[in-house]
Amino acid sequence: MRIAVFTGSHAGPPSHAAATAAFARSLAEAGVGIVYGGGKVGLMGVVADAALAAGGEVIGVIPQHLVDDEVAHPGLPRLEVVQSMHERKAVMADLADAFVALPGAAGTLEELFEAWTWGMLGLHAKPTALIDVDGFWQPLLTQLRRMVDDGYLDAARLDALGVVSDASALLAFIDGYQHPARKWTAPPPPA
């Protein structure tokens, strides 16, 4: 199994880096591979370094422009260099069996929401989850519950988004995951 990990290119507070390292190490020790954005910086670098130090499989996927900016992780046994951010996300999705977001910023949110939305549209049936370090995702979850309350988001889709605290809880969530029905389905043919 491989999990696509979305997280920040900045380190954030020390507690986030410690939780990220423990998460990546736990996945590696459980024999779960990591697919991530291929960077050496921020929490992305923490993910790669911790998993590699624990003997885990780590695959980086990075667009050429970020290689040119010298942010690619130099110690990865496998680094896929692609031409665009769109291609990066598609390759990561193809290589992964599930998606998870650790703390991060706009890019992390964009990757998370695209993967989650693809599931809603029936483009995949892979689990998507958040690792809630220090309550980081609670404001977002408040907004998502508001979207449910206002009728923009089906409650079953929000319920299908895992919110867990660590790698073992994530693996339990994945093991019991039931993908909701597609958001849009064709109407039945006329009688």
pLDDT given for residue 45 in this prediction = 97
In this predicted model, what pLDDT tens digit does every residue of 140-168 receive, in sequence order? 999 999 999 999 999 999 999 999 999 99
Q: What is the mean pLDDT of residues 86-96?
A: 96
In this predicted model, what pLDDT tens digit does every residue of 1-50 receive, in sequence order? 999 999 999 999 999 999 999 999 999 999 999 999 999 999 999 999 99
> What CATH number labels 2-174?
3.40.50.450
pLDDT given for residue 92 in this prediction = 97
Domain boundaries, the chain: 2-174
In this predicted model, what pLDDT tens digit does every residue of 104-152 receive, in sequence order? 999 999 999 999 999 988 899 999 999 999 999 999 999 999 999 999 9
DSSP per residue, 68-114: HTT-B-TT-SEEEEESSHHHHHHHHHHH-SEEEE-S--HHHHHHHHH
